[in-house]
Amino acid sequence: MYAVITTGGKQYKVAPGDRIRVSKLLGEVNTKVNFSEVLMLSDGANVTIGQPKVDGANVEATILNHGREKKVVTMKFKKRKDYFRKRGFRAHYTKVEIGQIVNR
């Protein structure tokens, strides 16, 4: 069984037991979170596609930890003008473990 969920503006294909990194979620470590925006649901034989979401379906997950991604560095440069800008950015993420996929 697997599902396609959306969170943080991105879509993820998940199955029970998967560990994924998503954009930062509010919540403490070892707490449960529900992803209610399920776009597609499959149990092997049957596939349910939402329009845009599958009604009554949600994915339960547990927060494992919070962290920050590797630094992304951007640079702007203009030749012969003594202009150089360097900026860095580290995005926050939350690592979750998918528990069960519920379809009511």
| pTM of the complete model | 0.85
Task: Please tell me the distance from the alpha carbon of residue 19 to that of residue 17, in angstroms, as a whole number.
Answer: 7
Single-letter residue type at 32: K
Task: Please tell me the distance from the alpha carbon of residue 45 to that of residue 30, in angstroms, as a whole number.
Answer: 33
pLDDT of residue 44: 86
pLDDT of residue 41: 94
Residue range 37-47, pLDDT digits in tens: 999 999 889 99
**pLDDT exceeds 90 at position 86:** yes
